[in-house]
Amino acid sequence: MKQRSFALRGDLCWSRDPQHLNTLRDGWLVCVDGRSAGVFETLPEAYANLPVEDWSGHLVVPGLVDLHVHAPQYTFQGLGMDLELLDWLDRHAFPEEARYADLDYARKAYTRFVEDMKHGPNTRACVFATLHGPATLLLMDLLEASGLVAMVGKVNMDRNSPDTLREESPEAAEAETRRWLEASSGRYERVSPIITPRFTPSCTDGLMERLGRLRKEFDVPVQSHLSENRGEVALVQELCPWSRFYGDAYDRFGLFGGDHNCIMAHCVLSGDEEIALMKERGVYVAHCPQSNTNLASGIAPVRRYLDEGLNQGLGSDVAGGSTLSIFRAMADAIQVSKLRWRLQDQSLAPLTAPEAFWLGTAGGGAFFGKVGSFDPGYELDAVVLDDSRTAPVLPLPVEDRLERAIYLSEDRDVVKKFVRGTALW
């Protein structure tokens, strides 16, 4: 069933920009060598000889992109939601992540993460593993075998965590990170490493400095957390009194975009200076609405980031968020934007469904290149949904069926999935 060139028939939805949702009922999406050759009302003569994937009556959307997810935390999705960030890390996240020193445990847990992601609507993700090099490589092996595309980070952390989950010194951390980078760089077709300081409270300046050097040496992107929670922001100010704002504490070490791709998760509490620097450096905001709700962090000003033209996508942030599907993140993003508008700031209009769909497809997809749309030239990630389970009495336009999928789809509705033009099953 694997094929890199084909013509797919179905009810198509895709975005070019946040404001414009394109839909085509009973249209043709042509894939040539893993990339879109375009969308057509009738199949052009030139493609008449391609194999046909006939998904008539099904909803077909670009693969969804998860810009921020913690694979080892998937074991406790939907649990321990009664704490704020720093206590939640101590009580739930750190003890669980410590278990990944055990490769048997890691294999069981990561297998379930990868299997569930494979069968849901996401095709790409930027993933935090743990600080353990071997378990991180195992996760990368499993992701590569699944056919998904992912950037995966061995996490770095050398302070403010239990002995069982802390690197011994900046030097030891650098050595382990170098081993992991050497082992993983160029080893995979679809999976690649990404430098991953957990966040400033977990990383000494000495470690950050070394990570900045490794980043340059191996020419890899960066992911971390930024301005999620009040206690965390205050702690960063205390730990890095020299920093002008939280983001500056990454920027100082060359870990805040500019000459490299960089994702910062959350950005709930970013101030004007921080936002200006994110924009200047092209930093991607990974908006994680469910996690920011569960950990009572607040609601990020996504509308402002859209208006100012920042790079932006969505993150599930499992297990701060409970659900892998980025459809759920789209719904959550719309919903919390309404509460923000109602309770906090009526100058920022709520998100629309097309905007949320763009964030979860082309918005986040741009971090991976030309990804997240069906426009010609885009890498062809496509998800075929059987939405008959929730079909109403009267037929709906494709656009309405998409809105419904955002609110109601379940992973089992995904009946076929292509990544870079290759079917995952």
Q: Which residues form the interface with a second copy (CB under 8 A)?
A: 75-82, 105, 108-109, 112, 290, 293-294, 296-299, 322-323, 331, 334-336, 338-344, 350, 352-353, 390, 392-394, 396, 400, 403-404, 406-408, 410, 412
The answer for residues whose C-beta is within 8 angstroms of residue 108's C-beta and 6 or more apart is none
Instruction: State CA 171 to chain mean position distance.
Output: 30
The answer for residues whose C-beta is within 8 angstroms of residue 258's C-beta and 6 or more apart is 280, 281, 282
CA angle 47, 362, 116 (to 5 degrees): 90
Alpha-carbon distance of 164 to 98, in angstroms, equals: 6
CB 268 within 8 A of CB 84: no
Written as one letter, the residue type at 201 is P
275/331 with CB nearer a second copy? 331
Give the DSSP per-residue string, 52-119. EEEEEEEEEEEPEEEEEEEGGGGGGTT---SS-HHHHIIIIIHHHHHGGGSHHHHHHHHHHHHHHHHH
Alpha-carbon distance of 229 to 300, in angstroms, equals: 11
Pairing of strands 262-266, 284-287: parallel
